[in-house]
Amino acid sequence: MSFFNTLLSRNGLSAHDGRPLWRYFLTEQDFEDLRKTLSYAKPYFIDARDAALYYAEWWKRNYDGGIPNKENVFNSIGGNIQYYYNYNEFYKIAKKGGQLLGFKWIVKQNTLRFKTLLLHGGLPLTHISANQGRYLRFLLAVIEEQSETIEDFVFQPDIINLLPKSSQNDTIYENCFEIVRSILNKENVYDDLLESDSTLKSISGQLKSRANQLGVKKRESKPKNYWLMSKIGDQVSIRLTLGLAPIYTENALSNILGIEIQKSAYQFYLNDKLICVFKKLYSGNYKTEWFNQETHNWDGDDSLTNAYVIVDGNKVDIPDFIQIMPSLNEPTLWSYYSENEWRLIKGNGSADKSAAVLTPLSWISDAESQIITICDKDLRLMEFEGELEITENVESRKYLSGVESFDWIIESKKPRWIIKSNMPVIRGVIKMFLYDTSNNLVPSSQYKVWVKPHRTGAYWEEYSKLSNLPLGCINIKIVRNGVTAYDRVYNIKSLNIDFVETAIDKAKIEVKESAGISVKLYETPDFTIDINNNFYKLAIKPGNSKIPTTIKGALGLGTQRKLHFHMESPFQGMALVDKDGSIIEESTKLSLRNLYGLRLLTTPGKESILTLSNKFSTDVKISKSIIPTFQPLIAFRDEIVRLFYLADAMDHANRVCLQ
């Protein structure tokens, strides 16, 4: 038995016409009939479209606060279905229903199928009706913000706290954002839904009236990336979320990436994974096309993430894209994000009323704490409101919540040979950009910066009065409106590393102008290092077919904290290697599914040419110039696909060859 077929017949349709499911405008009796159809369905006789429709209608009628989950949706059905299916199996049926109905799944960093199923129900009418005033104030604030992405308002506690605590979650944010964008863009996508309920009709009228009074808001674009710590029971995980918009103007993309934008496509990578491509549209704007939709779970490495773009075969580093990393070894401050979720923030002050500090066990406090495990290491988590002080031996740190906070970026001057490091690298000068809670750039006259070398007995000096910044690890103190924040950089001044000799199995590098900074490179089972003054000779061990993709090293000055870094591999030669550096044999057959992680190793600083052709259409060849030492093979996916379709795509012998 299929409720959906009955619904189609009643609407004079032979098949679903692509409308969002809320546009079928089910009555209360319809919803009850749908529930009964599912609750008494026999095993393997559920129409998957009914399951998808139930998800949408549950969101519209039954959701009443908290983080929505699959269990609540399934349990609300009741009846015999619980004896034949569990909530995960029912969710899979609903996903199949979404596919049958041609749902356009919400795609951001991940494909959000659960959220898509819910949002086909439109707005959570029951919850909004019960909290009409708070939703109106929240939606008006988001309208005023003229948000282009969720991240434009989700980090502003004065906006988020207008919602009931039970409504502060991603699905509500996404839902409200879509409504606001449709009103700001003067679209009528949700008009029928907004007019269908007296409460919504009142809210809609006020939102449209306010939107018509607004002028165009000039927005200062900057990367909106954040780390989320999720705590469900005893399970704790940390993941990176990228706040990239679906569309950018040329100027906005330039601000986000920190480079001049002139070309038609920019491939964006994190730690050598192709994340997305920014492609130019006829309008002149750039569309974000996602490629790698895996969740970026943190693995415990506190090195700053390596971000870069490839454009026209050239690699361009984006050193300031992610400026903060979680840590297992230092205290970190986390601001409330949603139920059981916390967001990593810089500094010692949070604008949100609720915050938490995550520390190694060596740090203690009088406040209550709980021991949690992250990446196999026990840590102490202390939730607080107001003020929290922690101590380790003679050192103490104070954290505040509910205060005016700020964010900042220190411009990196990381040399090309450093791929990533555990702190920002500078060359004699600190260039800082400080932002308030609304992402507005704060003039340097409105805050003070103090510095001191990272060593015992050093004292703070005002940076603006210093004529010479000391070498090595530098502690930074930022003070604005009574709120203090701390950061750390490593000053290498003129230190440089040159690749003197390079080959596929050996290399020689020279350290220049170290000025007392010691340079240590670490051997591995794959290669040896011989040191003679400022020269380092590296050699692949005999019989080894593995080429290191990076060389780990450290810079040190006395007893100061060291800069740990990954250096670009100095080994040269044309070869295809996997993510671990193992050479791929020439006869190996590849597929589009396993291109991720494969890279072309080329001669550093010299142009190499990659030629691609179809096995059956050798007259057509594509030649690509390769300049980066390690070029991800996925960068040439479009060319490979075009060549593949020159021959019969159904022919199992069809091949694209790389030379």
Select the more confidently predicted residue: 573 or 247: 247
Kindly state whether residues 369 and 449 are assigned to the same domain. no
- Looking at 568, 590, 619, the residue that finishes a domain is 568
Kindly state whether residues 352 and 377 are assigned to the same domain. yes
Q: Can you give the pLDDT at residue 658?
A: 78
Task: For residue 406, tell me if it sits in a domain.
Answer: no
- Looking at 317, 344, 366, the residue that finishes a domain is 317
Distances (CA, A) of 611 to 590, 621, 623, 659: 16, 7, 4, 5
Q: In what order do the strands lie in the sheet with 527-532?
A: 496-502, 506-512, 535-540, 527-532
Kindly state whether residues 550 and 588 are assigned to the same domain. no
Tell me the average pLDDT across 265-285.
87
Task: For residue 473, tell me if it sits in a domain.
Answer: yes
Kindly state whether residues 478 and 500 are assigned to the same domain. no
Q: Can you give the pLDDT at residue 361?
A: 93
Kindly state whether residues 86 and 12 are assigned to the same domain. yes
- pLDDT bin (cut points 50, 70, 90) of residue 218 is low
Tell me the average pLDDT across 78-98.
89
Nearest one of 457, 455, 230 to 356, comparing CA atoms: 230
- pLDDT bin (cut points 50, 70, 90) of residue 332 is very high
- pLDDT bin (cut points 50, 70, 90) of residue 402 is confident
Residue 426 is encoded by which pair of tokens? Answer: 């500078």
Residue 380 is encoded by which pair of tokens? Answer: 């102490």
Kindly state whether residues 32 and 110 are assigned to the same domain. yes
Task: For residue 327, tell me if it sits in a domain.
Answer: no
* Largest pairwise CA distance in the chain: 86
Kindly state whether residues 93 and 16 are assigned to the same domain. yes
- pLDDT bin (cut points 50, 70, 90) of residue 219 is low
Distances (CA, A) of 466 to 429, 432, 515: 10, 15, 20
Kindly state whether residues 174 and 199 are assigned to the same domain. yes
Q: Which segment, 429-433, 511-515, 577-581, 614-618, is predicted with the most confidence on average?
A: 429-433
3-state secondary structure of 99: helix
Q: Can you give the pLDDT at residue 226?
A: 85
Q: Look at the block and give the residue holding tokens 């491509």.
A: 277
**What digits encode the pLDDT tens for the residues 196-209?**
777 777 787 888 88
Q: How many CB atoms lie within 10 A of CB 214?
A: 11
Task: For residue 410, tell me if it sits in a domain.
Answer: no
Kindly state whether residues 12 and 112 are assigned to the same domain. yes
DSSP string, 204-272: HHHHHHHHHHPPPPP------EEEEEEEETTEEEEEEEE---SEE-HHHHHHHHTS---SSEEEEEETT
Q: Which amino acid is at 250?
A: E
Kindly state whether residues 62 and 14 are assigned to the same domain. yes
Kindly state whether residues 25 and 105 are assigned to the same domain. yes
Distance in angstroms (rounded) separating the CA atoms of residues 175 and 173? 5
Task: For residue 206, tell me if it sits in a domain.
Answer: yes
Q: Can you give the pLDDT at residue 360?
A: 92
DSSP string, 569-636: P---S-EEE-TT-BBPPTT----GGG-TT-EEE--TTS-EEEEEEETTEEEEEEEEEE-SSEEEGGGG
Q: Can you give the pLDDT at residue 380?
A: 92
Q: Can you give the pLDDT at residue 613?
A: 81
* Total domains, the chain: 7
Domain with 520 in it: what CATH number?
A: 2.60.40.10
Residue 605 has pLDDT above 60, yes or no: no
Task: For residue 229, tell me if it sits in a domain.
Answer: yes
- Looking at 491, 508, 533, the residue that finishes a domain is 491
Distance in angstroms (rounded) separating the CA atoms of residues 135 and 167? 10
Distance in angstroms (rounded) separating the CA atoms of residues 170 and 165? 12
Tell me the average pLDDT across 51-74.
89
Q: Can you give the pLDDT at residue 535?
A: 92
Share of the chain above pLDDT 70, in %: 95
Domain around 556: 496-568
Select the more confidently predicted residue: 612 or 364: 364
- In sign, the C-alpha dihedral spanning 237, 323, 439, 357 is positive
Q: For 554, how many CA atoms within 13 A lie in the half-sphere containing its CB?
A: 10
Task: For residue 407, tell me if it sits in a domain.
Answer: no
Q: Name the strand (E) or helix (H) holding 553.
A: strand 550-556
Task: For residue 325, tell me if it sits in a domain.
Answer: no
**What digits encode the pLDDT tens for the residues 477-493?**
999 888 888 888 999 99
Kindly state whether residues 130 and 171 are assigned to the same domain. yes
- pLDDT bin (cut points 50, 70, 90) of residue 606 is low
Backbone angles phi, psi at 558, to 5 degrees: 60, -135
Backbone angles phi, psi at 508, to 5 degrees: -135, 130
Distance in angstroms (rounded) separating the CA atoms of residues 623 and 654? 20
Long-range contacts of 114-117 (CB under 8 A, 24+ apart): 114/70, 115/170, 115/171, 115/174, 117/52, 117/55, 117/56
Backbone angles phi, psi at 594, to 5 degrees: -115, 25
Provide Rg for the chain, Cα atoms: 28
Distance in angstroms (rounded) separating the CA atoms of residues 575 and 553? 24
Distances (CA, A) of 17 to 8, 213, 541: 9, 36, 64
Q: Can you give the pLDDT at residue 180?
A: 85
Long-range contacts of 520-523 (CB under 8 A, 24+ apart): 520/553, 520/554, 520/555, 520/556, 521/551, 521/552, 521/553, 521/567, 522/551, 522/552, 522/553, 522/554
Q: Which segment, 128-137, 186-195, 628-637, is predicted with the most confidence on average?
A: 128-137
Q: Look at the block and give the residue holding tokens 């009574």.
A: 482
